[in-house]
Amino acid sequence: MPSVTTALATDPFASTLDALGINLRRKHPTILQLNIGRICNLTCQHCHVNAGPWRKEIMSVETIDRIVDWLAQTDIPTVDLTGGAPEMVPGFKHLIERLKSLTPSRHIIDRCNLTILLESGYEYLGEFLAKHQIEIVASMPCYCPENVNAQRGEGTFDASIEGLQLLNQLGYGRDPDLPLHLVYNPIGDKLPPEQQELEDDYKRELKEHFDIDFDRLYTITNMPISRFESYLKQNGKLAEYMQLLIDNFNPAAIDGLMCRDTISVDHLGRVYDCDFNQMLGIPAGNAPELRYLWDTDINDWSHSAIATGKHCFGCTAGAGSSCQGTTA
């Protein structure tokens, strides 16, 4: 059997899978992940979306309605809302209300940066999310202020703590119907530590110092694309970081990859294999051009190929990485 190093000489990730006899195939989709806008109140160092206050990519109400109409004809149970800060998109409330009006209503995940809950004009968000029983997955790079502020900007740690305390007061992380999960990204060019051990540390520190409760911690590897790729290049660490990912390739992480059971959709309604391919503009299944969700047959999707690239080593290094944390 060819070694991983030999496979890298041709097509890095796909060739590695082929050399190891691994067939990366889709499952029937269970998650529709919508990146509804790249606008954000933060400019985090590790952001693979390159989100920020200046971004103009925002999903229109017309696109929201077309997506929900398509979803209503499927059995996909979960809708995962991401950005940017998805809550800043003007159609955010309309989208949630339409999703909840479907029969059956869909389970909704909101990927929240916590600080948005305190921004002027968004004070309603916490109660709105709780009222509709929206699962919250919140960015929290560390339980220490120095690390959080270094990655996300000065003052974001205090705002994040205040946001978590607000959510706890509403029942999040304490009421089983209001799940609250946190997301850890490493500071810089290294892999995340073991997820369960870090979760134990988070729960101990946040409870002891701030009386904060949450359900799960997800550890996610920084992807060598977009803003984080620029950071690596500027510091002369891109090749070293890519080699770290390659050296830690773990075949056991393949089965839980998000590309297997998730359809990723951009603010215009176009489909991709994952959020990372979306940021790189890679059409789903390496098709010759991008296509729209409402032109997609879910049965055809379930049996089509998955487009890969060298960045996929980020999802398969160590214990693996996906939107739900480790995969191996």
The answer, yes or no, to whether residue 253 has pLDDT greater than 90, is yes
pLDDT tens profile 153-179: 667 788 999 999 999 999 999 999 999
- Which distant-in-sequence residues (6+ apart) come within 8 Å of 232 by Cβ? 189, 224, 238, 241
pLDDT at 148: 62
pLDDT tens profile 35-91: 999 898 877 766 777 778 888 899 999 999 999 999 999 999 999 999 889 999 999
State whether residue 134 is helix, strand or coil: coil
The answer, yes or no, to whether residue 5 has pLDDT greater than 60, is no
The answer, yes or no, to whether residue 146 has pLDDT greater than 90, is no
Distance from C-alpha of 219 to C-alpha of 126, rounded to nearest angstrom: 24
Mean pLDDT is lowest, of 74-83, 137-146, 201-210, for: 137-146
User: Strand 262-265 relative to strand 216-219: parallel, antiparallel, unpaired?
Assistant: unpaired
Domains of the chain and any CATH numbers: 28-314 (3.20.20.70)
Q: What angle do CA 168, 43, 214 make, to 5 degrees?
A: 20
pLDDT tens profile 122-135: 999 999 999 999 99
Distance of CA 112 to CAs 84, 140, 159, 239, 281, Å? Answer: 9, 10, 13, 31, 24
pTM reported for the whole predicted model:
0.92
Kindly indicate the confidence band of residue 3, based on its pLDDT and cuts at 50, 70 and 90. Answer: very low
The answer, yes or no, to whether residue 147 has pLDDT greater than 70, is no
The answer, yes or no, to whether residue 144 has pLDDT greater than 60, is yes
Mean pLDDT is lowest, of 52-56, 173-177, 193-197, 313-317, for: 52-56
